[in-house]
Structures are given as C-alpha cells and as structure tokens.
Structure 1
C-alpha cells in the first residue's frame, strides 16, 4: 500500500511525455480526417495540380530551405556560447533579413534599410526579453 503514495520521475525521459502525447493525438486526428474525408481527398488532384502550377516556387522552397538552415544552425552556433542564447541571436538576424529580402518585391535601398534595422532589433529585443526578463535560456 505504501507504493501507491510514492511517485518516481525518470528525468531522462520525463520531458518527452507531452510531445509523445501530442503526436499520438495528432496522428489519431489525421487518421480520422483521412477516413471521413477520403472521397474529397482523392478528388482533389486537379485542385493541387492547378495550385502547384501557379505557386511561387522560389519563395516557397526558399522559405523552406532558410527555415531548415535556421533551425539546423541554431544549436551548433549556440554551443559555442552555452546557455547565453547567442545561437538564437546570431542565427535570427540573418534569417529575418534573408526571409524579408526573399519576400520583398522592390529591393531598393529605401526598402532594405528598414528591413535591416528590423532584422537587427527584433531578434535582439526577443533575446533580451527571454534572457533578462523571463530568465529563459535560448539555444
């Protein structure tokens, strides 16, 4: 009976409980959508063919590549200065600048200067907020 009132926590894997729970719930919801809407999903080929032919592939794939690069580099850069958040700061500035330039239609100096200012100030503000006010470490 004494074991019923004792709780042991495995700190090696305890942080994985909620991601696994959310993953299972999302998988079940996805399966339910596939089962209930399978007719509409099967007939959507023409819609997607038209959408893919009209989409801006350079911006779409550029955004995917920049985002993958951003998240891939943040931890290795952050490991140079552990627990300071500099990986976030150093990687976020070029990421914000590059995505802004990618989506900017008219790349004149008049439009690029405000973007560069935002790319420098916004990540610095977020870094300061998380580090000094919330005492949270960023990668």
Structure 2
C-alpha cells in the first residue's frame, strides 16, 4: 500500500509524456475522422482531386516545410545553450516571421511593421513567461 503513495520521476524521459499523449490523441482523432468519412475517402477520388486543385499549394507546402525545419532546428540550437530556452527563442522568431509573411496577402513595407514587431515580441514574451514566471525550461 505504501508503494501507491510513492512518486518517482525519470527526468531523462519525463519531458516526453505530453508530446506522446498529444500524438496519441491526434492519432485517435484522425482515426475517428477516417472512420466517419470512409465513404468519401474511399470513393472515386473526385474529392481528393478537387481538394488538391483548389488548395493553396504554396501556403500548404510552405507551412509544412517551415514547421518541419522549425522542429528539427530547435533542439540542436537549444543544445548550444542548454536549459536556457534559447533554442525556442532563436528558432521561434524567424518561424513566426516567415509564417506571417507566407500568409500575408499584401506584403508592403507598411504591412510588415506589425509582423516584425509580433515576430519578436510574442516569442520573447512566451520565452520570458516560461523561463522566469513558470520556471520551465524550453528546448
């Protein structure tokens, strides 16, 4: 009975709990979507060809590429300054900037000013909040 009240934390793998949990939830939700829409998905293929023709390919594939690069670079850059969260900060500023530019309809110098401000202030505020207020380290 005393073992039920003991908590042991393996700090080498404890940071992987939430990413795994979120991944499992996303897989389950994806499975529900596939089961729910199985007739449309397995149909003649018209839905897929229509979707692919109408989608904004530059923004779709640009978002995929930027997100993959963002996550691949965050840990190696963070390893240069361990336990400071600078990997998150250094990668998030260009990521937010490039994603914002990708989704802008009008890329004028005047429209870029708020994007530049947000791309610096938002990640810096999140980094400060997690580092100093919550005392949590980011990659």
Q: TM-score, normalised by structure 2?
A: 0.80
Unaligned 5+ residue runs, structure 2? none
Contact 2:83 2:138 in 1 (8 A): yes
Partner of 2:105: 105
Moved more, 29-38 or 107-116: 29-38
Measured in 2, the distance between the counterparts of 1:34 and 1:107 equals 38
1:121 lines up with 2:121 in the alignment: yes
My pick for the range that moved more, 92-101 or 41-50, is 41-50
Aligned structure 1 segments of 4 or more residues deviating by more than 4 angstroms: 7-10, 12-18, 25-37
Distance across 2 between alignment mates of 1:38 and 1:82: 46
Q: Distance in 2 between matches of 1:31 and 1:15?
A: 26
2: CA distance, partners of 1:102 / 1:29: 28
Structure with larger Rg: 1
Aligned CA RMSD, in angstroms, stands at: 2.8
1:40: how far off? 3.4
Return closer, same or farther for 1:45/1:93 CA change in 2, 3 Å cut-off: same
- Take 2:31 and 2:86, find their aligned partners in 1: how far apart are those partners? 40
Secondary structure at the counterpart of residue 80 of structure 2: coil
Q: TM-score scaled by structure 1?
A: 0.80
Aligned residues between the structures: 135
Work out the CA distance in 2 between the residues paired with 1:117 and 1:36: 43
Measure, in 2, the Cα distance between the counterparts of 1:29 and 1:100.
28
Aligned residue for 1:82, secondary structure, equals: coil
- Aligned match for 2:3, one of 2, 6, 15: 6
Distance in 1, matches of 2:99 and 2:22, equals: 33
Segments of structure 1 that go 5 or more residues without pairing to the other structure are none
1:67 aligns with 2:67: yes
CA distance in 2, matches of 1:21, 1:105: 32
Measured after TM superposition, the shift of residue 55 of structure 1 is 0.9
